Structure 1
Amino acid sequence: MIAPTVSREALLHVVKNLPAAPRILAQLGTLLLDPNSDLTDVVDLLRHDSALTARVIRVSNSAAYGAGSRAGSIEEALMRVGFNEVYRLIGLAAVAQVAEDSLRNYGVSGTRLRENSLFCAFIMEILAPAIDLDARAAYTAGLLRSTGKIAVDRLAPGPLHIRNYAASGQGRPLDTWEMETVGIDNCAAAAMVLGEWRFPQPTIDAIREHYRPHPTATPMAALLNIACGAAEKAGYPLPGEITYWDVTPAKLELAHVDSDMIERAIERAGYQFERAREAIS
């Protein structure tokens, strides 16, 4: 059977109905690069999305950010966590908003999607400085790497009539199944969506290439592949992806990490993950 071809227009039409949180996260990343920006600018940006603002306040009041008086406004929430922590806080709130629903065509619950995203993000953030990668960009790549799955899942039940991966995948790698049934794989879809949202190109390239990072791929792509394998090892896998995460010498060399670094990162990420999971539950 020849798979239908998903047009850019069809995919982006679906994306228009997704929560605005990732778009705001992209704008926030640009804003935080400006040395003249302050919390007032961040507040003004967040006010464009009342749902995200409410989530940020709720996350800031969680045990992950300490006890004490509860924040009642977005200004109080951001002051509570501090300017340097703003991006991570809003990233947590964003992934909670975007990955709230199950991906029924992938057989993935919203909870598992959030868990995988968070664990990947923390591994990326931990390892990035050691290899001279921007920690914020690396964190974002881990956090949003499954954006393409969300977009593709939203295409059904339209004209594509995608069958559930668990029922029709028959053990095939996920991107093979996607190409045969939808005509686009989730990595390419994510790159298209994140480009529309104006995320930095290195983040987009890392997500596009992370299933099978080739010898000329970016170190961030290889590191994202390794981070996803770490999430699988920690007990937060997504269906159909295990075949991508073999740790090879070539992959380690491309990512500029070693096995000891990965194991230490998994341990640190586990602690951060438990705090974050409680914050967005």
Structure 2
Amino acid sequence: MGLFMKQGIDLRHIDPRLRTMDRSLPGVSKPQNVADVVVKKRLGEQIISRVETLPALPTIVTQLMQLIDDDRSSVKNLETYLRQDQALTARLLKIVNSSFFGLRNKISSIPQAIVIIGYNSLKNLVLAASTSKLFQGSCPAYGYKENGLWQHSFMSAEWAKKIGLKLGFDIQSAEEMFVAGLLHDVGKLILANYVNTDCKEMIKTIVESQGNIIVAEETTFGLDHARIGSKVAQKWNFSKKLAAIIEFHHRPKTASLYAKETALIHLVNYLLSDGHYGMYENFPLKNDLCIDSVGMLGVTDEMIADFRTQISESAAKWDESVCLG
């Protein structure tokens, strides 16, 4: 089976509990014997070793990101580099011109894009354009429809940046939150490769875990997508900060470093997942918001309600051009 699953899935034919499960119950895992533990440990080691075989980000992408970070670089330098990869440039402009951003006038060149959206934002969109193909297709083991994981990841990136700015993050930190939001679920791409084509066993385990995706992953694989995602970030030479945020975004209370940033990604992931954006409506996902961690951000119930409304409005603007199909 390929890394990025293309098939769809009809959850109604898998288990009637998908429609009736009690979402208020805590996640529980199945009893395990020694043999199960050994098998899962070996599987977990195999999955981690697979991360080491992942291809690096394209050289053109890493060079572009370094160039944008260089104070001595110019728009002309950036445009020269982008000319080396016309497909990347086309995807980049397609994202910028999508209805999701709602720009009044069409952007037709890189210099124009820099003027309109700014240098740092362009850097993040270069990363988004270069990784978008990884997230395309469906990922039914996690409840995502065609291009649904890309929608979740890209919207998480945008809202991590927007909410970060609203909460007082400086512009550089907010741009970092864009990257964290974009890549926080990259580990799901790896784990999905180890799920049977029909996904029945995985979804059954999610149901038995009362919708707790982390418990279901640990029951199935012996590890979870957050840990694998952190390994991917390290493989791609992102910062230790980003790797830590990804690793603890489902357990923000246990984050010993970058607690505020981790809490922000936790909040954004909760809001996007709870809205089932890009997902099958009846997928048995249970979302828990860590009140203590979110409280550290100074977020009130009223603010969360407002974020929900704004995210819903932005989701209505989502179109396939952002998916770059």
TM-score (norm 1): 0.78
2:286 corresponds in structure 1 to 242
Deviation at 1:138, TM superposition (A): 0.9
- Secondary structure in 1 matching 2:272: helix
Question: Is the 8 Å Cα contact of residues 162 and 181 (structure 1) preserved in structure 2?
Answer: no
Q: How many residues align?
A: 272
1:223 corresponds in structure 2 to 264
- Secondary structure in 2 matching 1:236: coil
The verdict on how the C-alpha distance between 1:256 and 1:176 changes in structure 2, with shifts beyond 3 A counting, is: same
2:52 corresponds in structure 1 to 12
Deviation at 1:137, TM superposition (A): 0.9
Matched AA of 1:56: L
1:199 aligns with 2:246: no
1:40 corresponds in structure 2 to 76
- Secondary structure in 2 matching 1:198: coil
Matched AA of 1:246: L
Deviation at 1:211, TM superposition (A): 0.7
List runs of 5+ in structure 1 lacking aligned partners.
none
The verdict on how the C-alpha distance between 1:199 and 1:115 changes in structure 2, with shifts beyond 3 A counting, is: same
1:166 corresponds in structure 2 to 203
Deviation at 1:147, TM superposition (A): 0.4
Moved more, 148-157 or 80-89: 80-89
The verdict on how the C-alpha distance between 1:81 and 1:65 changes in structure 2, with shifts beyond 3 A counting, is: farther
| The one of 290, 300, 304 aligned to 1:258 | 300
The verdict on how the C-alpha distance between 1:109 and 1:61 changes in structure 2, with shifts beyond 3 A counting, is: same
For each residue in 1:174-230, what CA deviation from the matched residue of structure 2 results, as whole angstroms up to 9, or x when unmatched?
222222322331101100001111122222211100111125541111111111121
Counterparts of 2:106 and 2:219 in 1: how far apart (Å)? 53
Counterparts of 2:107 and 2:174 in 1: how far apart (Å)? 29
Deviation at 1:234, TM superposition (A): 3.1
Output aligned runs, 1:84-163, within 5 Å.
Answer: 84-94=120-130, 96-129=132-165, 130-132=167-169, 134-155=173-194
For each residue in 1:236-271, what CA deviation from the matched residue of structure 2 results, as whole angstroms up to 9, or x when unmatched?
27656524x2342x1223334333333333344444
The verdict on how the C-alpha distance between 1:227 and 1:78 changes in structure 2, with shifts beyond 3 A counting, is: same
Counterparts of 2:67 and 2:313 in 1: how far apart (Å)? 29
Task: Determine which structure has more spread, i.e. the larger CA radius of gyration.
Answer: 2
The verdict on how the C-alpha distance between 1:53 and 1:67 changes in structure 2, with shifts beyond 3 A counting, is: same
- Secondary structure in 1 matching 2:203: helix
Counterparts of 1:62 and 1:136 in 2: how far apart (Å)? 20
Matched AA of 1:118: F
Question: Is the 8 Å Cα contact of residues 147 and 278 (structure 2) preserved in structure 1?
Answer: no
Counterparts of 2:245 and 2:153 in 1: how far apart (Å)? 15
- Computed over aligned residues only, the root mean square deviation of the Cα atoms, in angstroms, reads 3.5
Counterparts of 2:84 and 2:227 in 1: how far apart (Å)? 28
Matched AA of 1:265: F
- Secondary structure in 2 matching 1:102: coil
Question: Is the 8 Å Cα contact of residues 277 and 315 (structure 2) preserved in structure 1?
Answer: no
- Secondary structure in 2 matching 1:6: helix
Question: Is the 8 Å Cα contact of residues 124 and 138 (structure 1) preserved in structure 2?
Answer: yes
Counterparts of 1:136 and 1:99 in 2: how far apart (Å)? 20
